[in-house]
Amino acid sequence: MPKPYSTDLRQKVMQAIEMDGLKKNEASQMFDISRNTINLWFKRRDKTGDIKVKVRTSSSQQPKIRDWEKFREFVKEHEDKTQAEMAELWGNISQRSISRALKQIGFTRKKKLTVIESEMRKSAMNFAQQ
Whether residue 11 lies inside any domain: the answer is yes
pLDDT at 40: 94
Whether residue 53 lies inside any domain: the answer is no
Whether residue 114 lies inside any domain: the answer is no
Residue 79's domain spans which residues? 68-105
Whether residue 19 lies inside any domain: the answer is yes
Tens of pLDDT, residue by residue over 71-91, are 999 999 998 899 999 999 999
Q: In this structure, are 44 and 73 located in the same domain?
A: no
Whether residue 61 lies inside any domain: the answer is no
Count of C-beta atoms within a 10 Å radius of residue 27: 19
Length of the chain: 130
Sites in the chain below the pLDDT cut of 50:
none
Q: In this structure, are 42 and 72 located in the same domain?
A: no
How far is it, in rounded angstroms, from Cα 100 to Cα 63? 10
Count of C-beta atoms within a 10 Å radius of residue 4: 13
Whether residue 13 lies inside any domain: the answer is yes
pLDDT at 1: 64
Whether residue 54 lies inside any domain: the answer is no
Q: In this structure, are 43 and 73 located in the same domain?
A: no
Q: In terms of C-beta distances under 8 Å and separation of at least 24 residues, what long-range contacts does 58-61 make, across chains too?
A: none
pLDDT at 116: 57
pLDDT at 119: 62
Q: How many domains does the chain fold into?
A: 2
Whether residue 83 lies inside any domain: the answer is yes
